[in-house]
Amino acid sequence: MPKDHGIGASPLRREDVRFLTGRGKYTDDIALQGQTHAVFARSQVANGVITSIDTSEAEKMPGVLAVFTGEDFVDVGGNPAGWQINSRDGEPMKEPKRPVLAHGKVRHVGDAYAAVIAETEEQARDAAEAIVAEIDEQPAVVDMGAALKEGAPLVHDEIGTNQCFDWGWIEDNRAATDAAIKEAPHVTTLELVNNRLVPNAMEPRASTADYDPGTGDYTLYTTSQNPHLTRLLISAFVLGIPENKLKVVAPDVGGGFGSKIYHYGEEALVLAAARKIGRPVRWTASRSESFLTDAHGRDHVTRIELACEKDGTFIAFRTETMANVGAYLSNFSTATPTFLHGTLMAGNYAVPNVYVNVRTVFTNTAPVDAYRGAGRPEATYSLERVIDMAARELGIDPLEIRRKNFVQPDQFPFTSAAGLEYDTGDYGALVDKLEEMIDRKGFEARRKESEKNGKLRGLGVNTYIEACGIAPSNLVGVLGARVGLYDAATVRVNATGNIAVMVGAHSHGQGHETAFPQVVADMLGIDEDSVEIVHGDTSKIPFGMGTYGSRSLAVCGSAVVRATEKIINKGKKIAAHMLEASEADIEFTDGQFSVAGTDKSVGFGDVALKAYIPHDFPLEEVEPGLEETAFYDPANFTYPAGAYACEVEVDPETGKVTIDRFAAADDFGNVINPMIVSGQVHGGLAQGIGQALLENTTYDADGQLISASYMDYAMPRADDLPFYSVDHSCQTPCTHNPLGVKGCGEAGAIGSPPSVVNAVIDALHAGGHAHVTHIDMPLTPARVWSAINS
C-alpha cells in the first residue's frame, strides 16, 4: 500500500487550491495604494553610441512624475558577475560594467536606456515615446566566430576584445588527452550547435517597489527564485541600500527555469524611483520585453572528438566550445559554460582522458545565463550525440557502447576524468529499466507500419549524468564563485503544536508547500497538516540561496532536516525534564518522547506547550521556546543520472517530426513526493523536446531578434507532445545529504534532446538517407527536409 503522507507519499498539493480558484498572488496582482507605473525606453538597435538623450518633452507630459536615464546611475554599482573565471593563461575574465540603465552605449536590442514613471502605464508609454534619444548606430556583432575575429566591432570598447575568457579544464590533463587522441584507433568528430533558448516562464517578469519615508524602509515585490540573493546583490553591489532596510518579497512566481534567478536593472530602477517620488512604482514586462531582455539560455557552438578503441571502449573526449554570454554578464553567465558544463564532460563513463576548452564571447544579443540544466544539457548533448555517431560508425549497438563504458557500481565514489567525485550510481540498472519500458523488440514491426503510411520511424537513446544540488561552498569558492551556495531553514514550533518552517528556497512551481511539510511531519511523527512553510520574504526567512540547480530538497531540505533534528534534540531535553529522566535515556518515535525501557512518555504537543510555558524549567540547561535554525552547506554536488529513449515518425516529404513515444528512466536517489517528481520530469522533457524540434531563437545580422514573439518562437503545445513514460524506481540514494535525495528539477531538460536527435537520424538512416549524419537543433521540418535533400 503506498503511503498517503510523509516521505515517499504523494499527498495532493496544498498550493493548488488557490491557483485553481484564481486566488494566487503573483507580483502583477499586487496593487498598492498610490501606485505609479514604470515604462522603459529600449534600444531598437543592437549596437549604438548614445550621443544624447533629451527627456524634456517627456517630463512635461500628462501624469509624468519622473524620468530616469543612465546618467542617474553613473555613481551606482553595476549588476555583478557572480563567479570569477580565469583564462588558461592566468588572466582574469573581463568584467565590463552592467549598469542599471544603459549609459554611453546600447548593446543589444531591448537594452533599456531610460525609464518613465507616470500615473498610468499608458501615460508612461506616451512619455517614453517622447524621449528623444540620439543613438549613433554601429555595426552589430552577432555571430560568435565573427566576434572573435580581429577588427570585429566591440560590444564593450573598454576591454578591447569580445572574448570574456578562454578557459581550459582540466589544464593538467590537456597534453595526455591530446596524445591519447593522436594514438587512438578511432576518432569520431562532430560539430554541433546547442541552440539559444528563451526560457519563457508563462508569468512575465514584474517588479513593484515601495518606499516608506517615515522609516526609510524599502520593499521590493519581484518575480524572483531567490529573494535573499536579489537583496544581497542590490545591497552589496548596486544601490547600496543596507540589507536591514530592504525587504525583498517574491510572492507566487509563475515559473522561472533560471530566468528569474538574476537581478535585473528594472528591480533597481523601481526602487530608486520609489525613493525619489515617494510613491510605489510598478512594472510588468510585456511578453515582447521578456523575449528581448530575460536572460536567454544555451547558445554554444562545439567541436567534440571521441577517441576510442575499435570495440567502442572510450579513450578520450576533447571539446572546443564557443559560448555566447550576450551583451552583458548576467550573474551566473560565467559559471554555466565552465563549471556546470566542462566538469560533466566525462558523462556516465570511466573514460580516462577529458579535456574541455571554452571561450566565452560577448555579442550584441540578450545576456545568456543558466536555463533549466545550465551547462549540463550542453555537455550531455555533445557527449551523447558523438557517442551515437561513433556507435553507428563502429557498428555497435548504441546502448551496448554506453554500457561497456559506464562507471560500474563497485567503483563509487568515483572521481571522473573531468574532476567530479560521483558519490553513487548504477547506470546499468537504468539501461535495464529503460529497455523494459520501451518494447525494443516491437520496434521493427512499428517501423514497418510507419513505412506503410509513408513515414520513417526512428529510435534514439541516450544516457546522462548531471551535477546538481548546487553546491558545496568551499569547492565552488576555490573555483571562483563569489557567493556561497548553502541554504537555510528555521523550524518554529508554536506553543499549540503547529509548526512554521521558514525556508530559503522559493517554490515557483515545485510544490514546496506540500513537499517540505512531508519531511518535517515524517521526522516528528505528527500530522502533515500542522506544518506550513513560509517562503519568499527576506524579512521572514533565514538567508537561503533560493531555488534553481535542482537544489531545494538536496540543500534546503537538508537544512530543514538539520533544524528539525535540533528541535528533536531540544525536545528531548525538555522531555527529560518533564519525565524526570536523564536526557540520554530519552527516545523519540512517532511523535512520542519516552524513557527507554519504560512506558513513561510525553507527546510532542505537550513538549511544545511546555517550551513556551516554562514553569519550573531548568533554565541553566535549556532555554524556553522551541525554534531552531540550520544552515546547510552540501559536501558535494549530487549526481542524478538516467537513460532515455525517444521514438519518432518523420514525414520525408515535409520533414515534419512527430514524437510517438518518450521514455525516461531516472535515478534521483530518494524521492520525497513521487507525483511532484514525475511532474518535474514531464516539464523538463517538454522543454528538451522543444529545444530539439521547435525553439529557434534567431537574431539577424543587425542584431534584431526575429523570433521575438510566440508567432515565431515555437513554444511546445499539448498537440506537439505525447504522454510520457517516466520511472524513478532505480534509486541509489545520495550518500552525503541526510535525505539521500539527488534532485530532479532539471533532469528532463538535460537528458532529452540527444535521444530526439538520435531518433531522427535513426529514422533517416533507415529510410535510405544515410548521408545525413547530423542536423542542428531545432530540427524544424524545413531543416529535416533540407538535410534529406542535400
Partner 1 sequence: MYAFDLERPSRIADAVKLLSDSEESQPLGGGQTLIPTLKQRLAMPERLVSLTAIPEMQGVCTSDAGALCIGGATTHATVAAKAGHYPALAALAGNIGDPAVRNRGTIGGSLANNDPSACYPAAALGSGAVIVTNAREIAADDYFEGMFTTALEEGEIITEVRFPVPEKAHYEKFDQPASRFALTAVFVAKYADGVRVAVTGASEEGVFRWSEAEKALSADFSPEAISGLSLSGDGMISDLHGSGAYRAHLAKVLTGRAVTAAR
Partner 2 sequence: MTQVAMTVNGKPVTGEVEGRTLLSDYLREDLRLTGTHIGCDTSQCGACVVHVDGKAVKACTMFAAEAEGAQVTTIEGMGHPDGSLTAIQQAFQDHHGLQCGFCTPGMVMTAAALLEETPKPTEAEIRDYLEGNICRCTGYHNIVKAIMAASGQDVSAIAAE
- As given in the structure block, the three cell numbers for residue 493 are 514550533
Choosing from 123, 510, 697, 732, the residue that interacts with partner 2 (CB under 8 A) is: 510
Choosing from 653, 729, 768, 771, the residue that interacts with partner 1 (CB under 8 A) is: 653
Stretch that binds partner 1, among 108-116, 455-463, 537-545, 782-790 (CB under 8 A): 782-790
In the complex with partner 1, the residue whose CB is nearer, 540 or 656, is: 656
Q: Are 320 and 148 in contact (CB under 8 A)?
A: no
Choosing from 706, 729, 770, 771, the residue that interacts with partner 1 (CB under 8 A) is: 706
Q: To the nearest whole angstrom, how small is the minimum distance from the Cβ of residue 557 to partner 2?
A: 18
Stretch that binds partner 2, among 97-105, 298-306, 504-512, 730-738 (CB under 8 A): 504-512
* CA gyration radius, the chain: 27
In the complex with partner 2, the residue whose CB is nearer, 9 or 236, is: 9
In the complex with partner 2, the residue whose CB is nearer, 729 or 789, is: 729
Choosing from 1, 478, 584, 711, the residue that interacts with partner 2 (CB under 8 A) is: 711
Stretch that binds partner 2, among 103-111, 198-206, 569-577, 775-783 (CB under 8 A): 198-206
Choosing from 165, 291, 317, 713, the residue that interacts with partner 1 (CB under 8 A) is: 713
**Grid coordinates 559506464 are at which residue?**
406
Rounded to an integer, what distance in angstroms lies between the CA atom of residue 747 and that of residue 720?
A: 20
Stretch that binds partner 1, among 24-32, 180-188, 704-712, 751-759 (CB under 8 A): 704-712
Q: Are 82 and 238 in contact (CB under 8 A)?
A: no
Q: What is the length of the chain?
A: 790
Stretch that binds partner 1, among 269-277, 343-351, 592-600, 648-656 (CB under 8 A): 648-656
Distances (CA, A) of 298 to 24, 143, 666: 31, 14, 23
Rounded to an integer, what distance in angstroms lies between the CA atom of residue 609 and that of residue 387?
A: 61
Q: Which does 653 bind (CB under 5 to 8 A by kind): partner 1, partner 2, none?
A: partner 1
Distances (CA, A) of 244 to 538, 539, 727: 10, 9, 46
Sheet strands side by side (includes 36-42): 64-69, 112-118, 36-42, 281-284, 206-212, 217-222, 246-249
Q: Is 125 in the site for partner 1 (CB under 8 A)?
A: yes
Q: Is 585 in the site for partner 1 (CB under 8 A)?
A: no
Q: Which of 217, 215, 733 is nearest to 424 (CA)?
A: 733
| Residues in region 123-162 near partner 2 by CB under 8 A | none
Rounded to an integer, what distance in angstroms lies between the CA atom of residue 238 and that of residue 349?
A: 43
| Residues in region 25-44 near partner 2 by CB under 8 A | 25-26, 28-29, 31
Strand-strand pairing, 163-169 and 217-222: unpaired
Q: Is 631 in the site for partner 1 (CB under 8 A)?
A: no
In the complex with partner 1, the residue whose CB is nearer, 288 or 725, is: 288
Stretch that binds partner 2, among 349-357, 526-534, 551-559, 712-720 (CB under 8 A): 712-720
Rounded to an integer, what distance in angstroms lies between the CA atom of residue 240 and that of residue 231?
A: 10
Rounded to an integer, what distance in angstroms lies between the CA atom of residue 154 and that of residue 138?
A: 10
Choosing from 707, 731, 735, 773, the residue that interacts with partner 1 (CB under 8 A) is: 707
Q: To the nearest whole angstrom, how small is the minimum distance from the Cβ of residue 284 to partner 2?
A: 8
| E-only strand ranges, 327-408 | 353-362
Which residues have C-beta within 8 Å of that of residue 210, sequence separation ≥ 6?
32, 218, 219, 220, 221, 274, 280
Q: Which does 682 bind (CB under 5 to 8 A by kind): partner 1, partner 2, none?
A: partner 2
Q: Which does 613 bind (CB under 5 to 8 A by kind): partner 1, partner 2, none?
A: none
Stretch that binds partner 1, among 71-79, 236-244, 749-757, 778-786 (CB under 8 A): 778-786
| Residues in region 214-253 near partner 2 by CB under 8 A | 252-253
Q: Is 19 in the site for partner 2 (CB under 8 A)?
A: yes
Choosing from 443, 612, 617, 785, the residue that interacts with partner 1 (CB under 8 A) is: 785
Which residues have C-beta within 8 Å of that of residue 75, sequence separation ≥ 6?
none
Binding-site string for partner 1 from residue 714 to residue 743, where x marks contact by CB under 8 A and - marks none: xx----x-----------------------
Q: Is 654 in the site for partner 1 (CB under 8 A)?
A: yes
Distances (CA, A) of 422 to 401, 402, 411, 418: 21, 17, 10, 11
In the complex with partner 1, the residue whose CB is nearer, 466 or 649, is: 649
In the complex with partner 2, the residue whose CB is nearer, 39 or 358, is: 39
- As given in the structure block, the three cell numbers for residue 225 are 527564485
In the complex with partner 2, the residue whose CB is nearer, 16 or 311, is: 16
Choosing from 61, 146, 534, 675, the residue that interacts with partner 2 (CB under 8 A) is: 675
Q: Are 459 and 443 in contact (CB under 8 A)?
A: yes
In the complex with partner 1, the residue whose CB is nearer, 128 or 270, is: 128
User: Could you tell me if residue 583 is left (phi over 0), alpha (psi between -120 and 50 degrees) or otherwise beta?
Assistant: alpha
Which residues have C-beta within 8 Å of that of residue 194, sequence separation ≥ 6?
298, 299, 300, 301, 302, 377, 378, 381, 382, 777
Q: Are 757 and 779 in contact (CB under 8 A)?
A: yes
The helices-and-strands tally (H runs, E runs) of the chain is 19, 28
Rounded to an integer, what distance in angstroms lies between the CA atom of residue 515 and that of residue 489?
A: 14
| Residues in region 277-306 near partner 2 by CB under 8 A | 284, 286-288
Q: Is 134 in the site for partner 1 (CB under 8 A)?
A: no
Stretch that binds partner 1, among 365-373, 442-450, 517-525, 710-718 (CB under 8 A): 710-718
- As given in the structure block, the three cell numbers for residue 442 are 516491437
Q: Which of 507, 484, 545 is nearest to 230 (CA)?
A: 545
| Residues in region 270-329 near partner 1 by CB under 8 A | 286, 288
Stretch that binds partner 2, among 36-44, 633-641, 698-706, 709-717 (CB under 8 A): 709-717
231: enclosing H helix or E strand: helix 227-233
Q: Which does 707 bind (CB under 5 to 8 A by kind): partner 2, partner 1, none?
A: partner 1
**Given the rule CB under 8 A, which residues bind partner 1?**
122, 125, 129, 286, 288, 653-654, 656, 694, 696, 698, 706-707, 710-715, 720, 780-782, 785-786
**Given the rule CB under 8 A, which residues bind partner 2?**
10, 12-13, 15-26, 28-29, 31, 122, 199-204, 252-255, 257, 284, 286-288, 508-511, 674-679, 682-687, 709-711, 715-719, 721, 723-726, 748
